[in-house]
A and B are shown apart, each in its own frame.
Chain A
């Protein structure tokens, strides 16, 4: 897919959870085609912060020509992005990497599992699936209810189930403990994004129940386009590969997570 380097205008930027901002950017000339699970490299408006920040595409609105990013503030770079004002211009490189396989693989009953800010790419994915007549099931986990982000948005496109560690919403426990998973025949493919321990637990469940599963990895990145070779994951078939270029979405069969 052709990549673009665009100056986009900040349409909106507001907090939607604890330390989580929803950044909406607009391009009057329209947006390129993008796949759920792809990401952007956003230039940080701060002299001290050198590298762009890789951020999943959270949602797009083709009519309004807007693209949304869900960003957790974890350091100086993300804090600068959270401080962007309406009308500011920000340079963005997108779309990057390979998304979830829904355009190339037949899927009928997808389960979309997310944790924390890792739910971000699953909204765009859910929108895309819904547009193709497939109603996804979302299963999100968090420490408490407040940390399960954008529930109302997700419920527009599918049904939402939750687990929380303190039991404040949904079932108490981790996503892999949820009663949805008691019947492993309910789903023909899992798409997951979130913290690595959660992804590993989901991958092991999927492997055990012979369910196809794709996970989106988040590695420390510099270029985002496969040039610097910093963000590698060790794969079973090809050794170290760039998460930015061959991922960020991987079929779990490629990962060395099962030894």
Chain B
């Protein structure tokens, strides 16, 4: 029997497969299709201090082997999460991680403080990389100093596992990764979506209400894989890899590139039971190659 368990800081995962924020709702949306408690972790929808209506429709454009979204962090705010969603998600027998977003440092800190009081939320993922909001979001994540500032402030207020989600829309992602590591992050997850655009030629108009949006799906996988490989070489904290993972083979590639765990995002929209299949497929891969533990393939690129 192969060992699938892995660790992100002090957080123990039964296997390296998580679902990415904004692609898996609060888990229950997928419960008809698979046993969601099998997942290593579920990262729930981006949560902000105050409720957000998100961006106007249209928010989505399909692209070859990918999609653009411009949701803009629609959520009912952290108080709603605490009162109405937490009592439900805490019953799910796996790690529930909250993705935290904000438009200023104080928002991030206050939200993290509130989540810190919830016993059954062992970690947060700090979103300093959302390309779809005017203020905050990606603005923090594209500069090493501002990235470090927000992480440092949240680190003081939050004492559980702190994961920081990085933007690929930068010249050198390793600079940002090192900056947030220095500021006290326990882990980095990458990549968030890549800034893109779609145009309706017939109407001579942009398709998205926000003109630009975040690109995800299999089309971004090679970029994500490269960035995970580069980052894993230069930081000591565990790296969580995501970006276009659609199969167990894709997931194994990220583990080989140095990721200690992976997240499934857009693929959940195409196959709502994909994350369970990825767990099974990683196990099958390890058995077929005579490994006894998933740890043996993390960063094992020859």
Contact = CB atoms under 8 A, between A and B. Distances in A.
A43 to B, nearest CB: 7
B270 A52 contact: yes
B33 A227 contact: no
Interface string A194-213: 00000000000000000000
Interface string B257-272: 0000000001011111
Contacts of B63: 50
Interface residues of A, number: 32
Interface in A65-83: 77
A5 B33 contact: yes
A117 to B, nearest CB: 19
Given A3-B33, A240-B53, A229 B65 contact: no
Interface in B55-76: 56-67, 69, 71, 74
Contact of A228 (B33, B269, B273): B269
Tell me whether chain A's interface is mostly helix, strand or loop, or mixed.
loop
B57 A93 contact: no
B268 A231 contact: no
Given A222-B269, A223-B268, A51 B59 contact: no
A219 interface: yes
A231 B270 contact: no
A222 B272 contact: no
A223 B64 contact: no
B213 to A, nearest CB: 10
Nearest to B273: A5
B140 interface: no
A45 to B, nearest CB: 12
Contacts of A230: 59-60, 69, 71
B269 A227 contact: yes
B24 interface: yes
B54 A225 contact: no
A225 B272 CA distance: 9
A2 B69 contact: no
A22 interface: no
B63 to A, nearest CB: 8
Interface string B264-299: 001011111100000000000000000000000000
Tell me whether chain B's interface is mostly helix, strand or loop, or mixed.
loop
Nearest to A44: B270
A226 B268 CA distance: 12
B302 interface: no
A231 B74 CA distance: 12
Contacts of B59: 220, 229-232
A226 B25 CA distance: 7
A52 B65 CA distance: 12
B40 interface: no
Interface in A1-54: 2-5, 43, 47-52
Interface string B8-37: 000000000000001111000110110000
Contacts of A51: 62, 67, 269-270
Contact of A229 (B54, B58, B67, B217): B54
Contact of A225 (B30, B58, B67): B30
A3 B272 CA distance: 11
Given A229-B54, A230-B60, A5 B22 contact: no
A79 B272 CA distance: 23
Interface of A: 2-5, 43, 47-52, 77, 91, 93, 219-234, 239-240
7 contacts: A4-B32, A50-B65, A222-B266, A222-B269, A223-B23, A226-B29, A230-B59
The 10 closest A-B pairs by CB, nearest first: A230-B60, A227-B25, A223-B269, A3-B32, A222-B269, A227-B29, A230-B59, A229-B71, A225-B29, A48-B64
Given A224-B269, A230-B71, 8 more contacts: A49-B62, A223-B29, A226-B25, A228-B22, A228-B60, A228-B69, A229-B71, A240-B54
